[in-house]
Amino acid sequence: MRFTARLTAASLLAAVATVAVGAPAHADRYRDDQWYLPFLKIAEAHAISQGRASPSR
């Protein structure tokens, strides 16, 4: 009985590890579609932005 429980636990752990390792690869497709972020230098804008709009006149 103990062997069966250990085998089941090991199989479950292997299945979870396989799914968890493959998950980040899905983000590459979306990241590659965001070609405009480097072109517009969004990272530089985020570094200096305060998150507020200019005051109205």
**pLDDT at residue 12 in the model:** 86
1 contacts 8 by C-beta, under 8 angstroms: no
| Tokens representing residue 29 in the block | 């497709």
Residue type, 17: A
Q: What pLDDT does 47 receive? A: 86
Mean pLDDT of 25-35: 77
As a whole number of angstroms, the distance between CA 57 and CA 55 comes to 7
Quick one: pLDDT at residue 15? 80
Asked whether the predicted pLDDT for residue 1 surpasses 60, the reply is yes
Position 50 confidence tier, pLDDT thresholds 50, 70, 90: confident
